[in-house]
Amino acid sequence: MNLVPASVSDFRLGAERRLPRTLFDYVDGGAGAEVTLKDNVADFEKLRLGQRVLRDISNTSTEIELLGEKLSMPVILAPIGMGGMMARRAEVQAKRVADSMGIPFTLSTMAICPIEEVAAVSQVPMWFQLYMFRDRGIVLEMLERAAAHGVTKLVFTVDLNVVGTRYRDIRNGLFGGTDFWGKLRSGFIDYALHPRWALDVGVKGGPHKFGNIAKYSPAANALPDYAAWVQSQLDASVNWDDIAWLRTHWSGELILKGILDPNDALQAQAVGADAVVVSNHGGRQLDGVASGAEMLPRVADAVGAALPLIVDGGIRSGQDVVKALALGARAVMIGRPWIFSLAAHGEAGLRQLLKVFKGDMNTALGLSGFPQASKVDRSALLEK
């Protein structure tokens, strides 16, 4: 009997069965011993919502407004690199579902599908994520391409000037490591053991290139080539002056992703950021740093209500979304959950995931006595 997936763990299991091990590990894994990856989830699990009854919850609503956009719930699909390797043209599918569900989709610079292809899905504006490359001319051209295709929200990632050490990817030889068996698995054996993926994505899902940067790296013809080009372009000298420069060249909203320190959040505010994402890159960068759930209230206390906060990392249910709102976030970003659901069951899977999240939120809002998502505050959490 085929059961309907009811949680992120169900979708994760489906993705693990369908995807080649190298690709599943790329999405599922984190940096180092994955301590921070585990803490991201565990720290939200530890939080307790207060249960308050006999309150009028007849008008429960998950809707919010964020940076001038009305969202059906405070959930944003986070940028995921190589998404189109997990499902056929995954970024296009995700944009289509996000539009239909009334939430934003964020396209990664390292997406398989380029801006132009994803923007053609509909007239609904998407968000776009970008890094600071050594070649500032590429940065400027990417900004122009994004603006030309309706992007008004730029999510600028600031925590990838040094790439985290991800043991699973090294073991699997994902980007052409020197280990022979790792190369062999990533080359064809691992893919051959997953024929449904091989046909749907491997054969029908091309071209398999980083669509947004393909024109800037014409010599690249395989994922390891693109990864090497990206490594060569990541600029370790990036500092706040570069963000100020970026602010002068981008007229839309600027959202800095990868802020964990309250002082960094204040500096982001000072250079003109319109919002920040409290994030440790899903535990994929520096293992051992604090979780978003731990740092979010500290950042919120530092910046007050003037700077909208988004949080990612470890959000696995609608209850977690409500907890994040209580800690000071206006919205959350989810990454692994949406790519797991899409990899396992396509667009229907992602739509089901988002329906479950919204249902969870309605339950949590109603039983915690906060029928409006926009009104949730720290008192929604049970004091320790």
Give the DSSP letter of residue 74.
S
CA distance 384 to 319: 18
- What is d(CA 156, CA 276) in angstroms, rounded to the nearest whole number? 9
Provide the 8-state DSSP code for 71.
Answer: E
Element of type H or E holding 127: strand 127-130
**What letter would DSSP give residue 59?**
T
Beta-bridge mates of residue 105 = 77
41 C-beta neighbours (distance < 10 Å), count: 19
Burial of 173 (0-12, 13-18, 19+ CB in 10 A): buried
- Helix or strand (DSSP H, E) at 333: strand 331-334
In terms of Cα–Cα distance, which of 102, 99, 141, 143 is closest to 122?
99
Per the omega criterion (within 30 degrees of 0), is the bond before 224 cis?
no
Task: Indicate which residues carry an active-site annotation.
Answer: 281
- Across 161-289, where does the E strand assignment appear? 253-259, 275-278
Identify which of 280, 259, 286 has the alpha carbon closest to the alpha carbon of residue 33: 286
- How far is Cα 52 from Cα 55, in angstroms, rounded to an integer? 7
- 254: β partners: 154
- What secondary structure letter does DSSP report for 105? B
